[in-house]
Structure 1
Amino acid sequence: MNIKSIFLLPIALSSSLLAQACNNSKQKDKQKEVTFSNEIQSANKTYNATQDTIPISTADLGNFPFFGLPENIRYESKPLQRNYDEIYFPTNRTGQLEKIGGRSFKSNMINTNNSEWSRPYFIKSYDEAIKAVGGVKLFEGKFKYEQIQFMKENAEYLGEEGSLDFYNNTIHSYIIRRPDGDDIYIQFDANTAGGAIQIVQKEAFKQTISIVKSDQIEKDLNEKGKTVLHISFDTDKASLKTEGKEVIKEIAIVLKNNGNLKLAIHGYTDNAGTKARNHILSEQRAQAVVAELSTSGIDESRLTVRGFGSQNPVADNTTPEGRAKNRRVELVKQ
């Protein structure tokens, strides 16, 4: 063997060993990538689930709000329960916010006097209880700036009992799909001192305000000097809905049957929006009533208009039912 061969052999062997080492390293990296990819896919089975792919739960959940308290945890004060409310929930892994309407439950929670608060214990308790009855996690994370701004501008009565701290805390959101479509949405958060939970069982809003007929309007005017009507307008507009026009037809009947009757038409709103905006809107809606009566042949000289905005509420503005009652038109006999 010549000297050239003596030097080439180690180099060849070294190159072979190096190539083999590189291949082994690449295989290990690929295995790691596959494992990591599988972990992501497994996680996304939870976070990427859509309404159509989430399995329906037929578990017997008992009575609303369905979930009791974990051991050594109590309500900080009396929970808020409403027959109908609208609350925003993050409904996918990106935190897309959706307004869910239905029966609601909200409460803050703290530890009992003989125990220390544990954030992991609180979260794990509800996570396992929800999943045990077929619930699926929709979102877990902190809200981004855009989400926080959206909530500040659109969410109702932030800061009351059971409000989540979406400024600072991680939000956990779940859904339990039900056979009849009355799906249950749950979201909660916690810090080092306590937690909060919100539950909504989805349900369509049921209108409980019926159209007052002409004979009742006339009776109220004669006995009370005024009548209160709930005339339907488009949201934040003075354009009448079909059912709103039906109410005005009843007013026209009264005016036609009583040729000397003159009415002051007073518009009112709920407290959503600014005072200035509400004042303008209430006056525009009262004027829309006059314009509609005019198309029915009523002389506008018999009618006067005034807007009061959100003044003189007749119901609680913190509930959807109350706000619906405050959005009204009052006819005052002149």
Structure 2
Amino acid sequence: MKRIILLLSTTILLCSCNKSENTTDNNTNDEILNDSIKVSNSFSIEEIPFVTNEIGDFPFFSLPENIVEMNKPLIRDFDVIYFPIKDQYLPIEGKVYKANIRGTREVPFSQHYFIKSFEDYLTSIGAVKVFDGKLTKENYENRKENDPNIGDEGDIGYGDEAVKCFVIRTKDKGNIYVQFSADNASGKLNILQEGKLNQTIKKISADDIVKDLNEKGKSILYINFDLDKSNVTSDGKEIINQISEALKKDNSLKISIEGHTDNSGDGNHNKKLSNDRANSVMNNLIEVGIDKNRLSAKGFGAENPLFANDSEENKAKNRRVELIKL
């Protein structure tokens, strides 16, 4: 009997030790996880109280004294930035400010001064710190696949990068997200005022084309073609149908169809491609019943850009078809 009691006591003792060791291991694992970001659904903006202080207008605050932007900041009315918020790493959309930061010639950059200035100021206006730690390589890999601005001015979000993130919740200006990071040579600052896309795309109508031709003498259209070819896509044919309707509304209208490209690639190839595309539009119009004598077509390649070919956005605007009233 004594032997059985002894065995039971030993078993209980061993189980207690194992439970204690497992608890310690779990606590250690939790501490490790708290130093990085996991993706979950635990954060709610409702947790953040509204600020009562006036916060100014976008981008809402100046840089500290003797701290300046290194280059021209990236400022856009609508874009996306990834922010670390508690145990999540979230893409937030809205109005964007992103900048690399440095000291002046007279006063070198101070990492401590930069970070403390922002922490103290943001806390003073009622901002809530939602992250203070290091990002993981997994965070970067996920962002790399989805962030169109990765590597641009003021970009934050690399593996092992120490980041601080604050949220300012207002009743009149919405939710504002601020994150910054720094080393002993320079810093980075991101500010985003959360907002929805103001949709400016609209379906091209025959009335729009007629109005542009009569008032401006030309109508600028973005007709979709197969990649590096002159074949019109189904979306492009919808626009061509509207051109046809416009010409049928006014039988006196005669137009020149002019094709344009951006400056990417070989110039001679671009000129031929733009010419083929202009003629493709003309042939499609003839097929739906427009008199050939009312039409002409020519390609100009990259000779007459609407905008400087200095960004993908501007290049896209230069890839166009223009209808010129004759």
With normalisation by structure 2, the TM-score equals: 0.63
Matched with 2:45 is: 54
Distance 1:292 1:325 in 2: 23
C-alpha contact (below 8 Å) 1:265/1:332 kept by paired residues: yes
Matched with 1:199 is: 191
Find the structure with the greater CA-based Rg.
1
Distance 2:235 2:299 in 1: 17
**C-alpha distance after superposition, 1:127-150 (max 9, x if no partner):** 676674246349941445745864
**C-alpha distance after superposition, 1:214-259 (max 9, x if no partner):** 14414544xxxxx25143659978543799468635752577323x
Q: 1:54 to 1:101 in 2, by over 3 A?
A: closer
Matched with 1:268 is: 261
* 1:69 equivalent among 58, 63, 68: 63
Distance 1:174 1:284 in 2: 53
C-alpha contact (below 8 Å) 2:212/2:219 kept by paired residues: no
Matched with 1:84 is: 77
Distance 2:143 2:324 in 1: 44
C-alpha contact (below 8 Å) 2:220/2:321 kept by paired residues: yes
C-alpha contact (below 8 Å) 2:244/2:290 kept by paired residues: no
Structure 2: runs of 5+ lacking an equivalent: none
Matched with 1:248 is: 243
* 1:229 lines up with 2:220 in the alignment: yes
Aligned-residue RMSD, C-alpha: 5.3
Matched with 1:313 is: 305
C-alpha contact (below 8 Å) 2:256/2:324 kept by paired residues: yes
With normalisation by structure 1, the TM-score equals: 0.62
* 1:217 equivalent among 209, 213, 231: 213
* 1:110 lines up with 2:88 in the alignment: no
* Residue 64 of structure 1: how far off its partner (Å): 0.8
C-alpha contact (below 8 Å) 1:232/1:244 kept by paired residues: yes
Q: 1:307 to 1:35 in 2, by over 3 A?
A: same
Distance 1:205 1:51 in 2: 29
C-alpha contact (below 8 Å) 1:238/1:284 kept by paired residues: no
Higher mean Cα deviation, 80-89 or 315-324? 315-324
* Residue 196 of structure 1: how far off its partner (Å): 1.4
Distance 2:135 2:273 in 1: 39
Q: 1:29 to 1:116 in 2, by over 3 A?
A: same
* Residue 107 of structure 1: how far off its partner (Å): 1.7
Q: 1:134 to 1:121 in 2, by over 3 A?
A: same
Q: How does 1:263-302 map to 2 (within 5 A)?
A: 263-269=256-262, 275=265, 279=270, 286=278, 289-290=281-282, 293-294=285-286, 296-300=288-292, 302=295
Identity %: 22
**C-alpha distance after superposition, 1:160-202 (max 9, x if no partner):** x434484884566666566689543444333331011222323
SS at 2:67 equivalent: strand
Q: 1:168 to 1:32 in 2, by over 3 A?
A: closer
Distance 2:198 2:241 in 1: 21
Matched with 2:323 is: 331
Structure 1: runs of 5+ lacking an equivalent: 1-8, 222-226
Q: 1:246 to 1:125 in 2, by over 3 A?
A: farther
Q: 1:189 to 1:300 in 2, by over 3 A?
A: farther
* 1:257 equivalent among 252, 261, 281: 252
**C-alpha distance after superposition, 1:290-332 (max 9, x if no partner):** 3663465213562325362x55432255578755643432234
C-alpha contact (below 8 Å) 1:228/1:328 kept by paired residues: no
C-alpha contact (below 8 Å) 1:164/1:188 kept by paired residues: yes
C-alpha contact (below 8 Å) 2:95/2:192 kept by paired residues: yes
SS at 1:207 equivalent: coil
Amino acid of the structure 1 residue aligned with 2:182: A
